[in-house]
Chains A and B, each alone.
Chain A
């Protein structure tokens, strides 16, 4: 029997699929960027329904907010019309269908959605729930895991963001400086 939350999930997933097809079919890149913003916002709603509020925050702020703005700025440079392919391309379609089929095949082995007996809930999660209150003393277990138990991973993630930022600064900030120097000369 379908419950109310299942209906909400289904509606949101259906909406995501419609938005994804719109993005794929649309040739005007301005429309694509705006619809991708919608896609992120609906994803954020889906994450909220799944009780992943942290992820929803991030998706709404980055996906619907900052990355939309940055892609719009990119469109100023590259124009808004996507080039239409001269002939229908069979090979990319084949690659997408085969990869998709493998992914769906892969999900058949996964535990059912929300299954409490799933391996991920049997490994270290019970220990975190049992003793993190005494060991870390932080009510939010997600924060305990991210910042303390898995502190190495989070340090790695921060270094990834740092590296990405430095790469953008070096690649594009540098080009900008050269252009300004050329302009002065």
Chain B
């Protein structure tokens, strides 16, 4: 679709704002609606839009498939790792209050930030990887 100037220009204008909005939904989830899952799908939608307009090969140079596969696992590990960190700091699994002994509320903030980031990373990369795999398949 790269030969269509209107689509190219509009997509170029939209994609940075889509990504910025995804980051806003990710890190503002404590205050407004949203969180890791929502941010992940919006970010993935931006990447998919980029791949649709500028071609999958170009998109794979931005989001390398191998890096995506590593990040799929990294997101889950970040979430579970935050839980394990709670145990190591003397609390229960996924007890974020234990992450900061002086101020449990601060620990909760830190824990929620990290697990939401883990969810966001896994969702973004799973969605984008799935799209890359499907787009690579040709008619048999």
Contacts and interface: CB of A to CB of B under 8 A. Distances in A.
Interface of A: 53-54, 57-58, 61-62, 65-66, 69-70, 73-74, 76-77, 134-140, 142-144, 146-148, 151-152, 154-155, 157-159, 161-162, 164-166, 168-169, 172-173, 176
Contact of A65 (B29, B32, B48, B72): B48
Interface string B109-140: 10110011011001101110111011111111
B115 A165 contact: no
Given A69-B131, A70-B130, A135-B108, A77 B138 contact: yes
A147 B69 contact: no
B85 interface: no
Ranked nearest first, the 9 interchain pairs of A and B with the lowest CB-CB distance are: A165-B126, A137-B105, A61-B41, A53-B33, A151-B94, A73-B134, A57-B38, A147-B112, A138-B30
B60 to A, nearest CB: 13
**Binding site secondary structure of chain B:** helix
A176 B76 CA distance: 26
B40 to A, nearest CB: 9
A148 B111 CA distance: 8
A146 to B, nearest CB: 6
A53 B25 CA distance: 11
Nearest to B94: A151
Given A138-B108, A143-B112, A66 B140 contact: no
Interface in B62-82: 69, 72-73, 75-76, 79-80
A70 B112 contact: no
